[in-house]
Amino acid sequence: MKLRNVLALIVVTAFLTETSHADAACPGYPKIAQAPVPDGVAPVASADQPYVWRKVNEYFYVVAEIHHPFPRDETTNPPHTQQMGLILGTKKAALIDTGLGLANLRAFVSQITCLPVIVLNTHGHLDHVGANQLFDMSYISKEDEATMHAANRQGRLRAYEMFTEGDNSLIESARKTMIPDGKFEYGFIKDGDQIDLGGVKIEVIGFPGHTPGSLAFVDRRDKVAFTGDSMLFRVLLDDRQKVREWLTSVERFAAMTRGIDTIINGHQWAPFRRSDIDEERALAHAILDGTIKGSKKKILGSDRTIYVLGTKRIGLLNDN
């Protein structure tokens, strides 16, 4: 065999070894006793099981705290989730967001992988950083640091009570299982950074709008993106200036993720597709152009103006 062919074989073998890491890195995993949510089935809230999960592919899992459709009077809403993405590399895993901390998330994740797990936060709101303290290292944007520190168990419980809208069995269970506050190590990440997990690098895309430091994460190996609250069926923004800022972020994200059609967000079980990006853009343009009218509604304790186009909604806190 010629030397060139031998070298090519070595390169291909190394590539296969690197990318077929799931069994090699953690033999015997995943070992979750709980069955995944079947494809095409909406998960159901349960006081007995705080987490649900599904497998996107061999290296990407979705874990979620699940509630009722929220608000309940919006009958077309999907079930409300605190949704997390778990990406497996050969050297470590990345958990995108940690929910409200409804129970021991680290113990649940340890059933999926034996790899060291770092946390990547899309933003600092309490329903995305609630279990950071269970993990050895977390990363967030500098702009959302103060918001992250404002999260506490009392606020997390209050948010859960609003999400469940008076379901006493779920609320009582959460009071028993929701993890306490605690200190944790964290660092900062920003637009343009890459996080090397071994075999895959997670790209960080800045997405200001929902919060000043909102981030999206892109896994090009698996053709999956995770947007947190920056893209979902209902985006909450402060005012029209934030709509402009958010729309700029949407346009940039769309340009940087061409070819990726699985877009997972922070609160909606079913993934977004490219067509959902187009709907989000159209709604933002309609608001800014004044070609659509909104209606007042109280969401999460605040009066907002809600604009609806198709299945997408944008809620503005100050719509003057």
Task: Convert the pLDDT of each residue in 128-150 to its tens digit.
Answer: 999 999 999 999 999 999 999 99
* pLDDT tens, position by position, 238-262: 999 999 999 999 999 999 999 999 9
How would residue 71 be classed by pLDDT, with cut points 50, 70 and 90?
confident
Within-domain flag for 289: yes
- Report the C-alpha gap between 63 and 61 in whole angstroms: 7
**Does some domain include residue 229?**
yes
Phi, psi of 164 (to 5 degrees): -85, -10
What is the amino acid identity at position 165?
Answer: E
Q: Give the chain's mean pLDDT.
A: 91
Measured between alpha carbons, how far is 92 from 115 in angstroms, rounded to an integer?
5
In a domain, 215, yes or no: yes
In this structure, is the dihedral angle defined by the CA atoms of residues 150, 156, 158 and 162, taken in order, positive or negative? positive
In which residue are the tokens 């895959």 written? 200
Q: Is residue 151 part of a domain?
A: yes
User: What range defines the domain where residue 88 resides?
Assistant: 24-316
The answer to whether residue 6 is domain-embedded is: no
Q: Based on the structure, what is the number of domains in the chain?
A: 1
Structure-derived torsion over alpha carbons of residues 14, 16, 17, 18, reported in degrees to the nearest 10: 90
In this structure, what CATH number is given to the domain that contains residue 123? 3.60.15.10
For residue 10, tell me if it sits in a domain. no
**Comparing C-alpha atoms, which of 304, 303, 307, 305 is closest to residue 287?**
307
92 in a structural domain: yes
216 within some domain: yes
**CA dihedral defined by 219, 222, 228, 232, rounded to 10 degrees?**
130
75 pLDDT band (50/70/90 cuts)? confident
